[in-house]
Amino acid sequence: MLKGSCLCGTVNWTFDGMPESATACNCTVCRRYGVLWIYDFENEGIHVSGKTRAYVRNEGSLGFHFCPDCGCVAYWRSLQVQQDGKRRIAVNVRLSEPETVAHLLIDHFDGLDEFEDLPRDGRCVKDYWF
């Protein structure tokens, strides 16, 4: 199980298991936040706790949740529930302890122009810290 928390410890998340990779997205929001996402479903593979504030983009599909005290971006959550009752969520793996996630491969998602996955380039999370 992976764990993450904001700087002040108000917002916490857990991820059941170990993901194969984390995603770097270049959309207008993610590139500004500098986040690396790991995905699952709310209250299934990902559990979040603590008071947050949310920023909802104009199209209203995602809420980006951050700590109201220290400002760390903790997760995004879909505003739509799927037909099967599940809600998609992604947590910011940068809020984990470095040694627990350093090995994760980076997937690239072009959320700015093409809205598609890009090829892996062999970099890992640890490569993004320097």
Q: For 9-44, write each residue's pLDDT tens digit.
A: 999 999 999 999 999 999 999 999 999 999 999 999
pLDDT in tens, 52-96: 999 997 778 899 999 999 999 999 999 999 999 999 999 999 999
Indicate the pairing of strand 21-25 with strand 105-110: parallel
Identify the domain containing residue 123 by its residue range: 2-129
Based on the structure, what is the number of domains in the chain?
Answer: 1
Q: Are 34 and 94 in contact (CB under 8 A)?
A: yes
Structure tokens at 95: 């809020």
CATH at 76: 2.170.150.70
Give the helix ranges, DSSP H, for the chain: 30-33, 98-101
Instruction: Tell if the pTM clears 0.75, that is, is over it.
Output: yes
